[in-house]
Amino acid sequence: MHDGCAGSFESGAQVVNKLRMMGFSGYALPVSTEINCEGCQTVFVMETLEAKCSNCGMVYGVTPCHATDTSSIQAAGIDY
């Protein structure tokens, strides 16, 4: 599924699963990032590698290797 920083994920759910498995979900992003939620278009600030939209519950994740690249943040699903 993932090969260090060279690997890639097919879905946001895979990213979030990896974060949870490795215990990285609560790690802080290097820089907080504003997210425009895919589920409800609410703008919220993502501060950790795994975050949840406070309006609709859409869960987002990004791996530590890609935490500085906002285009790598992926949605995993509502209340995932």
Q: What is the pLDDT of residue 1?
A: 43
pLDDT at 7 over 90: no
3-state per-residue secondary structure call for 14-65: HHHHHHHHHCCCCCEEEEEEEEECCCCCCEEEEEECEEECCCCCEEEECCHH
Q: How far apart are CA 1 and CA 3, in angstroms?
A: 7
What is the tens place of the pLDDT at every residue in 31-65? 999 999 999 999 999 999 999 999 999 999 999 99
Q: What CA–CA distances, in Å, run from 23 to 3, 38, 41, 42, 75? A: 17, 25, 28, 27, 18
Q: What is the mean pLDDT of the chain?
A: 93
Q: What is the pLDDT of residue 2?
A: 46
